[in-house]
Amino acid sequence: MEFFSYSLRRMWRFGKSDAVEPAEVDAEAELRQRYCATKTELAKLNADILALKGKHALRLNPYDQIIGLRATSLVDRPAIEAQWRQLMARRVSITPRWATVLDESKRYWNTWCAESRSV
């Protein structure tokens, strides 16, 4: 019984409600912000990919590996391939985030579409 009374004496302070309430987070606004940021990042990446493909006339296989390109000399090829690998690494890092944001936004999708149609 002594243990029980000791425990009650130690826990008395947890019953008070003097604790500061955490600020409410608007989940929809946060999600919309992440959606817009990720979509903007993805659009910039796609523009960079198209610019590189157009500038060097890249030909790719279905696995996005370079088959052929147009370069001024053989020395340029490794630099172009390195740029391409960097772009593919960025795409690999952005794609899962984009999929997560899309999956989370399913519950708000109808309201977002209705708002965009009314604007």
Q: What is the pTM of this model?
A: 0.69
Looking up tokens 């690998």 gives: 85
pLDDT for 109:
74
How many C-beta neighbours within 10 Å does residue 108 have?
15
How far, CA to CA in Å, does 119 sit from each of 36, 113, 114, 115? 17, 10, 9, 6
Q: pLDDT per residue over 21-59, tens digit each?
A: 666 678 888 998 999 999 999 999 999 999 999 999 999
pLDDT for 8:
56
